[in-house]
Chains A and B, each alone.
Chain A
Amino acid sequence: MARIFKTHPIETWLLVLIIVASVILSAFSEQYLTLVNAFDLVNSISINVIFAVGLLVVLISGGIDISFAVAASVVQYLAFYALSYLGGGNWLIGFIVAGGLGIMLGAINAGLIHYFRVISIVVTIATFNVFFGLLMFLTKGVSLYDLPDWWTNRIIVFEREMASGSWAELTLPAVVMFGAISATWFLITYTSIGRQIYAFGDNPDGARRIGINVVAVQFIAYGWMGMMAGIGGLMQAHFMQEIVPNALIGRELDVLAAVVLGGAALGGGRGTVLGCVLGVLLMAIIQNGLNLLGVTPFAFKAIVGVILLLAITLSNVSFNELRVGLRMESTQ
């Protein structure tokens, strides 16, 4: 336990916080610690986790992507038209089309960042506006409701009737989320290019000098983000059973906040899939708990904001430094 705390301090802290929050919530609300609520929580975080693991890879590579949520909306529209052109399609074609379109949008970001040497936040704020502007212009803000049946039919992977009569269900987005988590974990932990992404994020000049293929790193990082954005968009349309052009806008900052809470550094080179998932989970548990405790939804964002501000402040204050600082002051 002590060893884990040393090697993965942020993940351990998040786990402790999640356990503490869960204990408090189950004391206040009988509904919290039930299988129905647990599965609801897993289903509800799945789309954000899919986005989060994609963003994690970009953050590890030392960049940032603001455009992915809007890119997901763009993919939803493009995939809708591509699939109806292909005669309706099915899940396999859907995943390939959505993932492929997402990769293309990610590649636009990577190309602009790499070949024009612009800072990633500036590029992705620009593409955010371009994607959103084109989307609103071309769709005229019209939502799509006539999705193919395979896309909108709920798929329940696991279900069980509880004693209370309500059903505990795990749905397709949850399974896709587990797929996204495992794939990202495999990419950044076990593949050579994954370790190169860490190396490049930590020290780009050093990485360049030891011969890491910088172009490949950038395109794979933003392409991975784009692919996850596309798949997340596919899942969101499946979940909502409709495509609304501004449904995902604003999601990018919530996901970014959760990923950073999970220990990914904006400077690059740091971050784990576990921390990222725990970050999204903690944010969801806080919202879920506030809901169960009967707090007005209008207060959710303010509370989340305070928690984030405290988390970012505290995680940057090293307690050893504080102690050293105090000792120095007392000796003066």
Chain B
Amino acid sequence: MTSTNHRNIKYYFEGEVAGLLIFLIAVVVAFSLASPNFLTATNLSSMAIQLPALGLLTLAMLIPILSGGLNLSITYTANMSGLALAWTLQALGGPEAGVEVFVLGCALALTVGALSGFVIGVVVAYTKAHPILVSLSMMILMRGIGEFLSRGKDITGFPKFVQEIGQGAIWGIPIPMLVFIVCAVAWHIILSRTHALTVRLRNSVQLRGISEIHSGNHN
């Protein structure tokens, strides 16, 4: 047990991770010295509200890249998911909508996101089309559906607790940050502790590598 832990720790501080970590520390130190406002509670908490959206999208991109692909459509898919939740709230009560409506909306939002990724996955897996192209067309499709259904207008009028999720805090930590931390931990468990998925992902990378060498393709 100790030996695996030791290996894990070493693994996490090797190569690119170590480089990034040093770079991150250097940036934090440099900004702290350059501006007295950087290392303050106000600035850090405003960063903790802005950062999770990017972080969650990064997690979304991670798994397709691990499988040897790419998904260009994630931002517009995230947009469609947001619209799905917004419409559910608007259709079932608007500002007076209850928690159960919010849960239903979230379920629909996740379904929309999963469906978009699933279609890309099916097309890539069964036709061997290039993931960049498939996700590019999905991106244009998602942007188009979003434009068509919303007519480019804003959707407003949500219950108060929805705002709380975007801007509230528990024990001083902004809720978006908590959502991101939960997701990052879940991603870590999926990628390092569940056997089937990691093996499949790694296999697909290897198989892809081999078939690309055989067909003389490259990037």
Contact = CB atoms under 8 A, between A and B. Distances in A.
A308 B134 CA distance: 8
A268 interface: yes
Contact of B219 (A121, A203, A256, A316): A121
A202 B141 contact: no
Q: Which residue of B72, B132, B137, B147 has the most chain A CB atoms within 10 A of its CB atom?
A: B137
Contacts of A317: 127
A183 interface: no
A160 interface: no
A315 B123 CA distance: 11
Contacts of A265: 130
B95 interface: no
B129 A302 contact: no
A266 interface: yes
A179 to B, nearest CB: 29
Given A312-B137, A313-B123, A298 B218 contact: no
B193 interface: no
A120 B219 CA distance: 7
Given A62-B218, A203-B216, A312-B123, A256 B140 contact: no
A126 interface: no
A302 B217 contact: no
B218 A267 contact: yes
Nearest to A125: B72
Given A298-B147, A298-B151, A312-B123, A306 B219 contact: no
Nearest to A63: B219
Contacts of B152: 298
Given A257-B137, A260-B133, A305 B218 contact: no
A120 B218 CA distance: 11
A304 B144 contact: yes
Given A120-B219, A312-B129, A301 B137 contact: no
Contacts of A203: 216
Interface in B109-146: 119, 123, 127-130, 132-134, 136-145
A308 B130 CA distance: 13
Interface residues of A, number: 37
B148 interface: yes
A119 B72 CA distance: 16
A257 B134 CA distance: 10
Contacts of A298: 147-148, 151-152
B141 A312 contact: no
Contacts of B140: 253-254, 257, 301, 304-305, 308
Given A119-B219, A203-B216, A298-B152, A253 B136 contact: yes
Contact of A266 (B119, B130, B144): B130
A309 B145 CA distance: 14
Interface string A228-267: 0000000000000000000000000110110010000111
Given A302-B141, A306-B141, A256 B136 contact: yes
Nearest to A253: B136
A64 B123 contact: no
A141 interface: no
A311 B129 CA distance: 11
Interface string B10-52: 0000000000000000000000000000000000000000000
Contacts of A254: 140
A-B pairs, top 5 by smallest CB distance, nearest first, are A305-B141, A301-B144, A302-B144, A308-B137, A316-B127
22 contacts: A62-B219, A121-B219, A204-B218, A257-B136, A267-B217, A268-B217, A296-B148, A298-B148, A300-B144, A301-B140, A302-B148, A304-B140, A305-B138, A305-B141, A305-B143, A309-B119, A309-B134, A311-B137, A312-B123, A312-B129, A312-B134, A313-B129
Given A62-B218, A300-B144, A313-B129, 7 more contacts: A253-B136, A267-B215, A301-B140, A301-B147, A302-B147, A312-B137, A313-B134
